Amino acid sequence: MTVLQEVFDHYLNIKFNRGLPAVQMKDFEYVLLEDTSAELFFIDHEQGTFLEWAEAFQPQNPHYVQKPDWQPMLTSCFKQLDVYDEQVCYYLLYTINATTRIIPRNPYNKMNDFMKNYCFFQLAQLEHVTILSKEQKQQLKDFLFFFYLYSHPVNEETLYAFSFKEGTLIHAKTNINMEQYFSHYHDYICQHKHDRTLLTPHEINACKKLTIELLRSIEGKSKRLVMPFEDGIEYLHLINNVDDFLHMFNQNNKAFYQLLHSFLCDHQSNPYHEHCFSMLLQNYVTYILTFHFDDLIQLIAYFHDLPSIGRMIINKIFVDTIFMQKILKEANINIHHYPTIIEFFDEDARSIYLDEQ
């Protein structure tokens, strides 16, 4: 099992109160905080966290200075880097590391929290999908990475600063390979800035390893993550293996609709089950509706005699995330031309998709 899969299993256990006994990790442990959030702490440092350790090296904001007169920390390694580039690279580092953080969810942040973690998980799956074309996978990779950053959220400069080049994440302006950048970043601090942190070189290297695992997972270069099995989630393989989901849907989409129906009629659910169901439903959005929006008409027809179930599904599709907003815009689809969909919209869906048009 990879370090990242270990962290991911602990993350899900705590986030969804699964109640499983904790298995000790080598360098980190999750600690619950008073505000019900949870952070990855270093095992030997009660005050140090994986997310916050690099704050001591956060670069000064050059936008607050008329003429910045300093050099980036890694200027000797990347001569094309300026202080503005350094800032967005730091923001990316923080955003990636913050994937491990568990925050208390509320009505104002729950959508962003779900979207960021959904996108991270799907980015880890995408390169393993064989049924989609290369062009479709690239389209989805850009889509998912956009929302991964957007839902953190990052500023606009950071949102558009990075892109994939032959599967590798780069800083678009300078063409800097971000894995190389993060590697040099940790090495430089170990060698030249260790007096500004309480961490040992071993702990900094543990951070480097985990950050790069997170990055490589986003790039699709690592072993794909899996959602751990739990009784009552027999469809979990459809989440852990997108090919299984696409094969099942392409063979018999009504079997998928029936699966949705069965879950919503099951009164033995729990937070982890509900999360997995939301993941599966957003897979329908990501892998089906992105390319075949009109399938939604078939789904509505299937639930014609069960309007309450149909309404629940439609509103989860459109309101759990704002993926559909971008899909509609990029495909130049006017939702007003689909009255059979609109009639299922609740107040939230109407405010997002109708009031703006």
pLDDT for 189 equals 95
Where b means 16+ CB within 10 Å and e means fewer, 320-337 reads: bbbbbeebbeeeeeebee
CA distance 220 to 202: 27
- pLDDT tens-digit map of 139-150: 999 999 999 999
- pLDDT reported for residue 334: 95
For the segment 275-291, the average pLDDT, to the nearest whole number, is 97
pLDDT at residue 357 above 60? no
Would you say 66 and 181 are in contact if contact means Cβ atoms under 8 Å apart?
no
Is the per-residue pLDDT at 249 higher than 70? yes
pLDDT digits (tens, 9 = 90+) for 299-352: 999 999 999 999 999 999 999 999 999 999 999 999 999 999 999 999 999 999
Q: At what angle do helices 271-283 and 253-264 cross, to 10 degrees?
A: 160
The percentage of residues in the chain with a pLDDT greater than 90, rounded to a whole number, is: 85
Give the mean model confidence (pLDDT) for residues 147-160: 97
Asked whether 276 and 266 are in contact (CB, 8 A), the reply is no
Structure confidence at residue 267 (pLDDT): 67
Query: What pLDDT was estimated at residue 206?
Result: 95
How do the domains of the chain map onto residue ranges? 52-219, 234-353
State mean pLDDT over 19-23. 83
Distance CA 285, CA 140 (A): 11
The 10 Å Cβ neighbour count of residue 40 is 24
User: Rounded to whole angstroms, what are the CA distances from 168 to 127, 215, 219, 346?
Assistant: 12, 9, 6, 41
Instruction: Please name which of 300, 304, 315 lies closest in space to residue 347, comparing C-alpha atoms.
Output: 315
C-alpha distances (whole Å) from 64 to each of 47, 68, 100 are 30, 9, 30
Residue 262 has pLDDT above 70, yes or no: yes
Which pLDDT value is given to residue 198? 83
| Residue partners of 28: CB distance under 8 A and separation at least 6 | 7, 40, 41, 42, 43, 50, 206, 210
Confidence band for 44, pLDDT divided at 50, 70 and 90: confident
Nearest-angstrom CA–CA distance, 4 and 237: 20
Mean pLDDT of the chain: 94
Q: What is the pLDDT of residues 96-131, one digit of tens each?
A: 999 999 999 998 999 999 999 999 999 999 999 999
Which are the contacts of 322, defined by CB distance < 8 A and separation ≥ 6?
A: 111, 115, 352
C-alpha 320/C-alpha 279 separation (Å) is 10
Cis peptide before 271 (omega within 30 of 0): no
In the prediction, which pLDDT does 356 show?
58
212-245 burial, b if ≥16 CB within 10 A, otherwise e? bbbbbbbbbbbebbbbeeeeebebbebbbbbeeb
* Other Cβ atoms within 10 Å of 211 Cβ, number: 22
